[in-house]
Amino acid sequence: MKVHIIGIGLIGGSFAAGIRKAFQWVEITASDANSENLANAKRLGLIDSAETQKSISKADVVIIAVPVDVAPKILVEVLDQVSENTLVFDTGSTKAGICKAVATHPNRRNYLAAHPIAGTEFSGPEAAVSDLFSNKTNILCEVEKTAFRLQERALEIFQKLAMRIRYMDPAAHDRHIAYVSHLSHISSFMLGKTVLEKEKDERDIFDLAGSGFASTVRLAKSSPHMWTPIFRQNKENVLEILNGYIENLLNFRDLLQNDDFDAVFKEMERINYIKTILNGIR
């Protein structure tokens, strides 16, 4: 199987590592706007060679793992070049825009809209791990618009990487992902900002920060190059959930100001129900 990956960072690199481990015979090439990423991916054994995007016509699978603001343009260019037997899928965390961009493309049936819910706060091919997607959900959108034989190839890859599959409409995907992913990143970034502004002594941050702070602010280490385009593309959904979040913060502040700690207790006790959801128990 010949695989070409466009964008060999954390996600693209992890697909390379996972596919190489899962398949007995595979040739992996890559292209990336960052030549250093390509050199590092080659040095780490993630890819066999760096090639231009023009080589995708020879690939059985093309994986687009680039920021969401450039993904639609690259996808169109890829679909212009692929053969009828080439599977193309992306990894972006917004789906409505990219699906719309290729809705009428003559090679639309080559494309599968995918979003693996996996990642870390680190970036670049050095952060890639072969089991990044193991037991992680992979959301597929508009699967009925992808040729069935190419769906089967994609599912074989996802299953060998031990991914859980979920099917969603692109608009519903973007709305729900704003709730559970995009808001989490905003919250983490703003917590980090608040602490940096209020706690001027970096040593105090280092010495006093416990595991709770570290885990909550972990996402603030994520790449702005990746997340600014995500917020731009999913702006309406992000604003809706952000307004609700701000309202909840203001309400909690009011309870504290009014010394209504019975209400504070009941509020937190009610929110504790999230444990049962995250543990898979209802």
Query: What are 250-262's pLDDT values in tens digits?
Result: 999 999 999 999 9
Given this model, what pLDDT does residue 121 score? 76
Positions of CATH 3.40.50.720 in the chain: 2-168
Q: E strands within 75-231?
A: 87-90, 111-116, 137-141, 164-168
Residue 81 has pLDDT above 90, yes or no: yes
Question: What's the pLDDT at 148?
Answer: 97
CB of 237 within 8 A of CB of 178?
yes
* CA contacts within 13 A on the Cβ side of 95: 28
What fold characterizes domain 173-278?
6-phosphogluconate dehydrogenase C-terminal fold (1.10.3660)
The tokens of 29 are what?
């090439």
Please tell me whether residue 136 adopts helix, strand or coil conformation: coil
Looking at residues 219-229, what average pLDDT do you find? 87
Strands (E), 129-247: 137-141, 164-168
pLDDT in tens, 15-63: 999 999 999 899 999 999 999 999 999 999 999 998 876 678 889 999 9
Is the model's pLDDT at 248 over the cut of 60?
Answer: yes
Helix (H) or strand (E) holding 207: helix 202-208
Average pLDDT over residues 240-248: 94
What is the 3-state composition of the chain as percent helix, strand, coil, each rounded to the nearest 5? 60, 15, 30
Question: Which is the CATH superfamily of the domain at 2-168?
Answer: NAD(P)-binding Rossmann-like Domain (3.40.50.720)
Going by C-alpha positions, the residue among 63, 29, 34, 35 that lies closest to residue 49 is 29
Please tell me the predicted confidence (pLDDT) of residue 210: 57
- Rounded CA gap, 167 and 173, in Å? 9
In the predicted structure, residue 202 carries a pLDDT above the cut 50 = yes
Of 10, 11, 6, residue with least CA distance to 123: 10
Mean pLDDT of the chain: 90
Q: pLDDT for 95-152, tens place per residue?
A: 999 999 999 999 999 999 999 999 877 889 999 999 999 999 999 999 999 999 999 9
Give the pLDDT score at 203.
61
| Sign (positive or negative) of CA dihedral 139, 37, 124, 73 | negative
pLDDT for the residue 282: 42
Q: For residue 205, is pLDDT > 80? A: no
Looking at the chain, the domain(s) classified CATH 1.10.3660.10 span 173-278
Q: pLDDT tens, 148-183?
A: 999 999 999 999 999 999 999 999 999 999 988 899
Residue pair 59/87 in contact by the 8 Å Cβ criterion = no
Residue 281 scores a pLDDT above 50: no
CA angle 83, 87, 91 (to 5 degrees): 135
For residue 108, the SS3 value is: helix
